[in-house]
Amino acid sequence: MATFDVALFGEMMVLLVAADPGPLEEVHTFHKMTAGAETNVGIALARLGAKVAWASRLGDDTMGKYLKNVMQQEAIDCSRVLMVPRERTGFMLKGKVIEGDPPIEYYRSGSAASAMTADDLDPDWLGQARHLHVTGIFPALNAGTYALTTAAMQHMRRAGGTVSFDPNLRPALWGSTELMRSRLNELAGLADWVLPGLEEGRILTGADSEEGIAAFYQGLGVQAVVVKLGARGAFGQAGNQQFRVSGYPVEKVVDTVGAGDGFAAGLISGRLEGLDWQASVRRATIIGACAVQVAGDTEGYPDRARLAELGRV
């Protein structure tokens, strides 16, 4: 029997969100929150009752302690999170806007998590999980984090577990579009399920349509591809089965950050609970919709009772 439902690697950062609109240099008050694609997925899964384990490194500083405390309060296993003296925890600033995308500044270079390598992989720990979720952000940090991500995906597949991959493009971290495309498609080929957004899929595959994107990744041996279409919902192909799921209605979009991570959590939880692909994607769209209606990466993720109210799944 597996000890955990889902294992995650990745960097978690402190997110400082401006309290008022305006240029960041003119803002005096910020609200402290959390950020990190992999950990966003972990928090969303834990709120749905999944047993989640997270492996990382944090600086043994006040910000690192804050982040670890948040994860533990969400009932996430942090036994493989190393607190490192004299190393620092990454953080980011995000502005507040009335509409459109907010300005963001990252302060993550040289963080404790960026020093992780394949030597940090504990196969026995990873083997206790049923599923591994990976995004394209952590492996983009440097060669060490890329090697760790590759090794973890290969080990999980050998151990008989499943692997999901969200490309989560961050071009600034890769240096060139060609390198980004090559490396992320290598990782996609190690996954069972690939979850690109439509524009991400176009950049990575050269295909114009969601059907073309799915065909590209199935050509790499991927079992299922789910293409996120924003407010229009999602397109999925699992084996020979194709389907579409409409977007969940949203009255007002406040902040889109964290929506894709919530989507991934909904899909993963549905599949691990035995729901079919279409029902799992339906759940994914509901959680993604919850995320965009509030500020912050994780603040909108529902618990089990709220999910039942919203989606009856």
- Just list the catalytic residues: 261
CATH number for position 195: 3.40.1190.20
Q: Does residue 99 form part of some domain?
A: yes
pLDDT of residue 131: 98
Please give the residue range of the domain that contains residue 54.
Answer: 4-256
Query: Can you list the residues of the chain whose pLDDT is less than 70?
Result: 1, 100, 312-313
Work out how many domains the chain is built from and give that number. Answer: 1
- The per-residue pLDDT for range 51-75, each reduced to its tens digit, is 999 999 999 999 999 999 999 999 9
Q: Does residue 284 form part of some domain?
A: no
Q: Does residue 18 form part of some domain?
A: yes
pLDDT of residue 313: 45
pLDDT of residue 295: 74
The C-alpha atoms of residue 184 and residue 191 are separated, in whole angstroms, by 11
pLDDT of residue 292: 85
Q: Does residue 304 form part of some domain?
A: no
Q: What angle do CA 133, 209, 36 make, to 5 degrees?
A: 25
Q: Does residue 269 form part of some domain?
A: no
Q: What is the mean pLDDT of the chain?
A: 94
Inter-residue contact 245 to 281 (CB < 8 Å): yes
- The per-residue pLDDT for range 73-92, each reduced to its tens digit, is 999 999 999 999 999 999 99
pLDDT of residue 255: 75
Instruction: Give the burial string for 200-228 (b: 16+ CB within 10 Å, else e).
Output: bbbbbbebeebeebbebbbeeebebbbbb
Q: Does residue 285 form part of some domain?
A: no
- The per-residue pLDDT for range 169-183, each reduced to its tens digit, is 999 999 999 999 999
Q: Does residue 19 form part of some domain?
A: yes
Q: Does residue 115 form part of some domain?
A: yes
